[in-house]
Structure 1
C-alpha cells in the first residue's frame, strides 16, 4: 500500500492497514509526518510508526502514477532522484476538496476560496439566511467541529441569545492511529512565533504506572504555558488513549485555566490522566515521578 500524504487522514489509513499486515509506505512532501502537530510529537510518532514496520518517506513527492493490470507504479522523487516503486493499492490523502460545483453559490454571491465556502465566525456566508458548516467551511476538518457548528447555527436561526462562536484554536485535533495523537491550542513553534515567552512541560508514559500496566509505556504529554500569565497555550500528546485525555485540557482552555489551577487539581490514581498533571508540574520544575 502507498499512502500519499501524512496528515491525520493519511496516517490513520496507513496505521490501520499497517496493523492489518499490509506492507505500507507513506510519502510526505513536508519534512515530517503529521506536519500540523507539534514537532516533538511528530518525531515521536514517526519513530513509533517505523518501529511497527511502516516505511515513511519525508521530503518526497509522487511525481507520477502508472496504472497496470494488477499494480500501480509510482514515480517518487526524494533527494533529487526519482525512484520507481510498485504497489497494489494507492490512497491519496493530500487534502480535502469541497463539493461546491453546480450549486449556484457564486450566483447568490457566496465567496468560494479553494473549493471552500468563506464564512464568518458564526458560519454566515454573507448571503442572508445561508450558512455553511463542517468541512465545506474550511479547517479544522473535524466531525466534532462540524457538529458544534450545526448546533450553533440552529440556535442562531431559532433566535437564541448569547450564541458563542466556535473558536478553532480551542478545538481538539485527534488522530486515531497507533499510537494515538491529540492536541489543542498552539504548538511550541506557533507560541514562539506569536511572541510568547513560554514554559514547556513534558512527561513520558514510561513514568506512569497505569500506562505500564496497560502495556502501553511509549508516549508523551507536552504542555505549553505563557510564562507571564500562566495561560495554557497548548497541549500535545502521543500514546494510548490520548484522544480521550485531551478533553481535560480543552476544558481548561475554555475556562481560562492557569498553571496554578492545574497544579492544585487532584488527579485520581492510578490513571493515565496523572501524566497531564505531571506535565504541568514539569513546566514549572515541580515534576514528581521523573
Structure 2
C-alpha cells in the first residue's frame, strides 16, 4: 500500500496545477486520472474549441480578403482537417501535462478512484487491477459533464453535447443550439462562420445572461447581422431525433408553441459535477445539486478532504479552477499570506466573432449593491489600431465607484478583448482606482488604448471620441 502526503483525484486544470504546486512545496504527491491527462478543458473544452475557432477566424478573413486587397476566387473548407488539427493540438498539450507531472515527480495512477474511508483510496484500473493508497490530504478535482435536457435523446448522432460538437462528421446546413452562454455562443459562432444556418434558443430574456446587458445587446446585434437567429424566453419541450433530422418543439410564454426541423442540435445548458461513485457516502462530504460543498479554502465537511474546480461549483472556468487549487494546496501547507479566492477578480471570456470579455460587477449589479457609479465607454471605431485591422466594431466599458474611485468592473466586445481583459484583471487584483489607471501610459497604436480612453470617459476626460 503506497502512502502519500497529498492525492488529487482528477488531472484537469484544477488537478494537475495543484499537484505541481504541492510537489513544489515538498509534498509527496499523486494524481489519479480515469481518462486523459488534462481533463475536459484541455482535451474536450477550452483548447480544442479555440483551435476550431481559429479556423473560423481564418475563414472569416478569407471571406473579407477583398477588403484588404486580396482577391480569392475559390477555396474549399475541409472539415475533417479542421477537426483533425483541433485534436492534434489537444493531444500535443496532453503530452505536455504528462511531462510536467513527471518533471515534478508527481506519481500518476490510471484508473477510477473511490474513497473507502477518509484518507484511504481504492484505485481500479480498466483491466480490473485494484490498488489501495493512503493520503493525509485528498483533493477531489473530478470536474463536470454537460447537463442534459430531461427530454433529450442520449447517444444520438444528431443530438450533441459540446464534446460531439467538437468532432462533427458533417457540417449541418441547419443547426439548433440550446443555451446562449459562452459555450453555446462559441459553437454558434463557429458553425455560422462555417456556413450553417444557426438558431439559438435561450430561456432568459437576453443572450449571454451573465454579461453586462449593454454588451449582451451589442453581441446579439452583431450575431444577427451575421445571420444567426435568436429565440429568447423560449424553452425546448421535446426533441424528436430521426435518421436525418431532429424536430424540436419550442415553447414561449408569449408565443404559440412551434416545431422546427434541423440537421443537428447542440445542447449547451450548463454542467453538473462528477460526484458519483467517489465513495462520498463513506465521508461527511456534502453534495448540493451536483456540486460538492466547500468553504473559502476548498475544504469539505470531512477533515482532510477538499474539492476544487468545476465539481465544487461555479464559475466553471479553467483559470478559476487552477487558482483555486493553488490556494487550497498553499493553505494545506500553512503558508503565510494565503488569500481566499475573490470571485469578482475572475475574468470571463467568450471566444466568438466578435470576442466578449468581462471582469467584476456589471453596471446593473453595481447599482443593485448600492454603488453610485461612474461609467466610461469607448468604441472601437475611435481607435486607430482597430480601424487598421478592419475591426472597428466593438466597445470597452468600465465601471467605478463614484465616491472612492474603486474599479468595479470592465466589459468588452470586439477583436482580441479576451487578451485585453488581463490588463483589467491586474488592475482589479491591485485594487487600482481611476487615478492610477488614468496616469498609466498605454502604447500607441494598440487596442489597449481603448481601455485607457474608457477610464478617461468615466471621468469626462476622453480624448479621441
- Residues 220-247 of structure 1: CA distance to partner in whole angstroms, max 9, x if unpaired? 0000000000000010000010011111
Matching residue within 361, 375, 383 for 1:208: 383
Flag structure 2 segments of 5+ consecutive residues without an equivalent. Answer: 1-174
Q: Hey, what does 2:410 align to over in structure 1?
A: 235
Whether 1:181 and 2:352 are equivalent positions in the alignment is no
Q: What is the 5 A alignment of 1:41-80? A: 41-78=215-252, 79-80=254-255
Q: Which moved more, 1:172-181 or 1:160-169?
A: 160-169
Q: Hey, what does 1:264 align to over in structure 2?
A: 439
Whether 1:190 and 2:357 are equivalent positions in the alignment is no
Query: Cα offset for 1:55?
Result: 1.0
Instruction: Give the paired residue count.
Output: 290
* Structure 2 Cα separation of the partners of residues 175 and 107 of structure 1: 39
Q: Which moved more, 1:60-69 or 1:221-230?
A: 60-69
* Structure 1 Cα separation of the partners of residues 206 and 290 of structure 2: 26
SS in structure 2 at match of 1:269: coil
Q: Hey, what does 1:141 align to over in structure 2?
A: 316
Whether 1:36 and 2:235 are equivalent positions in the alignment is no
SS in structure 2 at match of 1:260: helix
CA contact (8 A) 1:106 1:112 kept: no
Query: Cα offset for 1:127?
Result: 1.3
Q: TM-score, normalised by structure 1?
A: 0.98
* Structure 2 Cα separation of the partners of residues 127 and 253 of structure 1: 33
Q: CA RMSD in A?
A: 1.0
Q: What is the 5 A alignment of 1:75-86? A: 75-78=249-252, 79-86=254-261
Q: TM-score, normalised by structure 2?
A: 0.61
Matching residue within 181, 184, 188 for 1:7: 181
Q: Hey, what does 2:421 align to over in structure 1?
A: 246
* Structure 2 Cα separation of the partners of residues 16 and 147 of structure 1: 27
Matching residue within 88, 94, 97 for 2:263: 88
Flag structure 1 segments of 5+ consecutive residues without an equivalent. Answer: none
- Residues 122-169 of structure 1: CA distance to partner in whole angstroms, max 9, x if unpaired? 111121111111111111110111111122222233332222221111
Query: Cα offset for 1:30?
Result: 0.5
* Structure 2 Cα separation of the partners of residues 149 and 281 of structure 1: 34
- Residues 255-279 of structure 1: CA distance to partner in whole angstroms, max 9, x if unpaired? 1111111111111100000000000
Matching residue within 256, 274, 278 for 1:103: 278
Q: Hey, what does 1:278 align to over in structure 2?
A: 453
SS in structure 2 at match of 1:66: strand
SS in structure 2 at match of 1:119: coil
Q: Could you say which structure has the larger radius of gyration? A: 2
SS in structure 1 at match of 2:215: helix
* Structure 2 Cα separation of the partners of residues 92 and 112 of structure 1: 25
